[in-house]
Amino acid sequence: MAQKFRKIGVLTSGGDAPGMSAAVRAVTRAANARGVQVMGIIGGYRGMIHDEMIELTNREVSNKIMLSGTFLYSDRCLEFKEEEGMQKAIATLKKHDIDGVIAIGGDGTFRGATDLSVRGIPTIGVPGTIDNDITASDNTIGFNTAMTTVIENVDRLRDTCESHARLNVVEVMGRGAGDITLNTAIASGAVAAVIPEAPFDEEACINKVIRLRREGKRGFLIIVSEAFPTLGEELAKKITAITKDLAEKEGNDRLWVESKFCRLAHTVRGGSPTLADRLLATKMGVRAVDELLAGNSDLIIVERAGEITTCGIRWSQVLDRMYKGTLKPGMTDAYTAEQLAEMEAFIAAKKAEFEKNYAMLNELAD
C-alpha cells in the first residue's frame, strides 16, 4: 500500500536553468490538486539543512511559469555531502512533517536525492540543466531556452560579421557536454563546432576558412564549447594572423579574415523559458508528483522519444558514467549482463545520433 502523503518539499539545486520555476509551479499545483501541501525549500540542500522554507500555494506560484532562473534560488552545498549535513537536513524535513521531496537539478542534485532516498525520505528527481547532460533523458529543462539564447546572440554577431567580412569565434556554455555547441552551430550555419565529443583539427579548420574566403564567403562563425576555456580566443588570434600573412604574401587583402572572440558566458543561463521548456517543465513536474504519491522513490523523470517516463537515479548515474567514460571500479557490479547490454545499446544509439549530427554540420558548413 502506498504511503499517505500529506506534505512534500520541492527544491532547485545546482546551476540554474530557465524553466525551473515553471517546474516548481507544476509540482505545487499538481500536489495541491491532490490534497497535498507543498513546502518550497530555499537555496537547495543548504535551505534543507538550515530550515529555510516557505509554503507554496496555488496563488504563491502564480505568474512564475515565465520566470527565468529559479525563484526558490539555488546553491551548491558541500555540507550536504557529509553525513552530519544529511542528518540535519532530514531532521528539518521531519520537523515540518515533510513526507517526500522533489529535487529539480542536474547530476549533483540527483546524488543528493539518492542520499535522501536511502535514508528513508522518498525522493524524485527532475532534470533541470541547460547542459542537457543527463544521458538518460533526450531533453532537460532549460536546454531549449539556452540554445535559443545562443542563436539570438549569434544571429546578431552574424550581421556584423557579414557587414565587415569578419569571423567570430563564439564560446558557449555546456560544461563537459557539447549539445548546446553542436546544435547551435548547425542552426546558425557555423563553419565549425569545437566539442568535447569529437577531435578538433585546427589546421583543417583554418584551411577551410581560407578556402571559403577564396570562394567569396564574407562572414564566418565558429562555435566553441566552454570545455576548452582558452581555445576560442587563441583560435581567433591565429586565424587573424595566418590570413593576414597570406594576404600580404599574395598581395590580396581580401584574403585577410579579421577574427573576433565572444564569450557568451552566463547570458546563456538567463532569459524567460521558451514554450518548449515551459511544457517540458510542466509535464515533468506533474509526473514527479504522480510518482511520489504512488509510493515510488529514487527515480528521475526523463523524456525519451517525446514521452515522459522514469528511470532509477542510480541507473541514470551509471549510464552517465558509461557515456562519459568515467566509470569507477565496482559501479556496475549491481547490474546483470542483460542490464549492462541494454545500457551499452542505449549509449551506442545516442552516440550514433550525435555523430550523425556532427557529420551533418561538417557537410553543410561550406
Alpha-carbon distances of 197 from 40, 89, 222, 257, 323, rounded to whole Å: 37, 38, 16, 28, 10
**Reported pTM:** 0.95
Q: What does the alpha-carbon distance between residue 235 and residue 171 come to, in Å, rounded to a whole number? A: 11
Taking the CB of residue 344, how many other CB atoms lie within 10 A of it? 12
Q: Are 58 and 29 in contact (CB under 8 A)?
A: yes
C-alpha 181/C-alpha 253 separation (Å) is 31
- Coil, helix or strand at residue 261: strand
Task: Give the catalytic positions in this structure.
Answer: 131
Three-class secondary structure assignment of 61-108: CCCCCCCCCCCCCCCCCHHHHCHHHHHHHHHHHHHCCCCEEEEEECHH
Using CA atoms, how far residue 43 sits from 59, 71, 198, 320, in Å, is 21, 9, 36, 26
Q: What is the pLDDT along the chain (366 residues), one digit of tens a residue?
A: 457 899 999 999 999 999 999 999 999 999 999 999 999 999 999 999 999 999 999 999 999 999 999 999 998 888 999 999 999 999 999 999 999 999 999 999 999 999 999 999 999 999 999 999 999 999 999 999 999 999 999 999 999 999 999 999 999 999 889 999 999 999 999 999 999 999 999 999 999 999 999 999 999 999 999 999 999 999 999 999 999 999 999 999 999 999 999 999 999 999 999 999 999 999 999 999 999 999 999 999 999 999 999 999 999 999 999 998 899 999 999 999 999 999 999 999 999 999 999 999 999 988
CA distance 139 to 126: 11
- Would you call 300 exposed, middle or buried from its count of C-beta atoms within 10 A (0-12, 13-18, 19+)? buried
Question: In whole angstroms, what separates CA 72 from the centre of its chain?
Answer: 18
| Furthest-apart CA atoms within the chain: distance in Å | 83
